[in-house]
A = this chain, B = another copy of it.
Amino acid sequence: MQYHSGGGTDGSSASATTTTTVASTTTPSTPKTFVACKVCGDKASGYHYGVTSCEGCKGFFRRSIQKQIEYRCLRDGKCLVIRLNRNRCQYCRFKKCLSVGMSRDCSSVVRLVLRFGLANPMSRGVRADCNGNNERNPMVTDLESCSNTRSGCTLGKVQFDCSRATPCPLLVACADVDPPDGGVDSVNGNPTEP
């Protein structure tokens, strides 16, 4: 997804003539080409860190994992994260990023596989993210070659270090994820705790 635009259409407001299509059906929300960021609801710019997100949340998450800053909420840790106030609380924004499935080196497929195991339909379904929402996934084909052991995780050619000494950030991220629909948390004997 790219939204460069570049100026093409001009007719400010009420663009004159053809196309337009207006809001079409009555649907009060999401007109058409609008894809919402899973973190704040702003317009998403693509698939970043495993989640459909906007440029802002993408950049914020990148910065957060680069320099390992420790955020802290000045309130109750339950701040609402929406476009208009997403910058109010970094702690809650980052928490939201993790909760929707953002992670550094893993695609959502990896996350799902690690969480549910290869055998779980949830993983194969690949069409769903941690919240059970449909989502396109580019790494479907690699699924078959994925393995997850206690010492490390491998997905295709990518290998992740999940040694106990340094828990894979991926697992940490998954730890906070709200139990997906079924609440299935079986996981395939995967070390989720320290």
Contact = CB atoms under 8 A, between A and B. Distances in A.
Interface of A: 1-2, 4-13, 15, 20-21, 23, 28-34, 36, 41-43, 82-85, 87-88, 105, 108, 116-120, 129-130, 132, 135-137, 139-147, 149, 154-157, 159
A147 B84 contact: no
Copies in the complex: 2
Contacts of A130: 84
A173 to B, nearest CB: 13
Contacts of A157: 10
14 contacts: A10-B145, A11-B145, A12-B118, A12-B120, A12-B146, A13-B116, A29-B140, A31-B140, A31-B141, A34-B137, A36-B137, A41-B137, A43-B139, A84-B129
